[in-house]
Chains A and B, each alone.
Chain A
């Protein structure tokens, strides 16, 4: 039944519009977003400032070439000096580029606070515990603020406040130069350590989580480098007084810390099942990587990464489209959730409810929004990550069923789906 089938639908729809409008009035339209965006952008690398329409080198005149060369030399020297300065601040480096134009101090009725250079504020980042498995790489971060008399306050009005956030530009690199992105853009530093964090200090520690390393890298210790360009402190307190009660302090800079992580490979199951083809699309589950259970580091018990090999795709298929799969699960007691109407259900791990599902594409680990097309081979490996599932017991082999009835290969407006009946029995042991 559609809304229009109901005789009272127009009234209900009008009521809903009124209620949503009333609710949305609670969101003021004047905020500090513009200031915060500009502040964050001010510290982004220049290459992200985008398209440079420079003439080709050969097309430049002689003086122009000279000017460009001189500029490059100066930039090189400045960079070299900056690197030396950063290295002097090991293990974490915070140039905290607060120029004269960043001095407005606290402005009433704004949420953004910028400190004068006189405050000499700096933030030191120290990497604490680290963790890596097939579903995530997690890094415990400690922040120490220095020379500002500034502390992270505790706003009593919030239920579970965020004290600090790594706001933007957080990336992780492995020794081979592959980048991994934080799986959420703002990872908070909480006041109260989660109960699964034994022995961590209060107030200045939190976790940043990234897309997982490839399975092959989980076998050996890995040297990783984490980089931040912005930290947003929420509710800072200075001299015992909260700044306006609801203030943010943006610390912009460039913090780079290298560390070593010893991964927890968990169990990796090679799935021995034949590929199945329907309507020209072939799907084959190839591997299931199961994270170790009961990890003391993360908030969730465990997770799993399932690799699907999909072939027969059109070369211009967006890989992100395939990652955006719908799924369905039902529990052994008959409960569960229904799949989205109109979607072919993907039944994964029957009897278990994944707390979260993340589709990522191996092996590039690129964020979904940047995924390129499948390419001329028409083949891609899709990694599907389940978080928060109860892992199978090693002593009790268990058969789970993976069913996929429909594959979405293009989204609106040129929506296209491929029906089929891909169904696989996977034995977990």
Chain B
């Protein structure tokens, strides 16, 4: 399999095979980044598609020798920002609205969830994902970007700064603020997520999740 450099060189020569190689190599990561930022798989696909097209359009300016992945993740992040901005302006799908819809069971479940052998674990995993999505939706866009880049993609501060187009100190603070905000949301609204992630394997049914949610609902009512 050719390297990113080979694929980029092909792209710069106008050979679409290079782009195909880049898509196959990087689409999974890019989709997950867009999904973490948007909370919707279909919007994520749209964003990644646009991002690859933009990357292809700008590939002549890509300097061979630089890593492609953070450069492309910068494009994905920018595309997501534009999409979020337009969605907000059109009062359309937001990550929060979507998570609410998922919780109500009105949004479509990702295909990957349909093949779970253990229905209880599957249901709980769906529930967890909805909760995590809601928690992410409560972060600011900048915090969400920083948290996703650090804690899912393990980028360093300098790399996050380059991807987000901000200063290193700013990136560092966004990561910290985002982490703190996420933990606060989880502790107050979805505490079972922490308990689970600390003690229970993903596929094991757990106790207390519903109780915690019920408690939260009761508190809300009060």
Contact = CB atoms under 8 A, between A and B. Distances in A.
Interface in A1-49: 1-3, 11-13, 15-29, 31-34, 36-38, 40-41, 48-49
Contacts of B151: 13, 16-17, 20
Contacts of B125: 22, 25
Contacts of A27: 31-32, 35, 41, 44, 110, 112
Interface stretch (A78-86, A123-131, A180-188, A389-397): A180-188
B106 A157 contact: yes
A369 B50 CA distance: 14
Interface in A296-313: 299-300
Contacts, number: 232
Interface stretch (A268-276, A278-286, A376-384, A406-414): A406-414
A341 interface: yes
Given A52-B14, A342-B173, A184 B147 contact: no
Interface string B113-151: 100000000000100110011011000001000011001
A159 B161 contact: no
Given A168-B50, A246-B108, A342 B167 contact: yes
B159 to A, nearest CB: 8
B179 A413 contact: no
A371 to B, nearest CB: 11
Given A26-B35, A29-B27, A53 B152 contact: no
A24 B197 contact: no
Contacts of A160: 91-93, 97
Contact of B152 (A24, A111, A184): A24
Given A33-B52, A299-B89, A24 B165 contact: no
B23 A37 contact: yes
B207 interface: no
> Helix, strand, loop or mixed for chain B's interface?
helix
B162 A22 contact: no
Interface size class of B (residues with CB under 8 A): 35 or more
Contact of A190 (B60, B90, B112): B90
A160 B133 CA distance: 18
A91 interface: no
Contacts of B16: 38, 41, 49
B171 to A, nearest CB: 8
A159 B106 contact: yes
A209 B89 CA distance: 11
Interface of B: 11-14, 16, 19-20, 23-24, 27-28, 31-32, 35-36, 41-42, 44-46, 48-50, 52-54, 56-60, 75, 78-79, 82-83, 85-86, 88-93, 97-98, 101, 106-108, 110-113, 125, 128-129, 132-133, 135-136, 142, 147-148, 151-152, 158, 161-162, 165-177, 179, 182-183, 186, 193-194, 197-198, 202
Given A19-B193, A40-B53, 13 more contacts: A11-B198, A28-B41, A29-B27, A33-B31, A33-B49, A34-B20, A51-B13, A111-B45, A159-B93, A246-B108, A299-B90, A341-B170, A369-B58
13 contacts: A11-B198, A17-B151, A23-B129, A24-B35, A27-B110, A27-B112, A28-B110, A31-B45, A34-B20, A37-B53, A160-B91, A340-B170, A412-B158
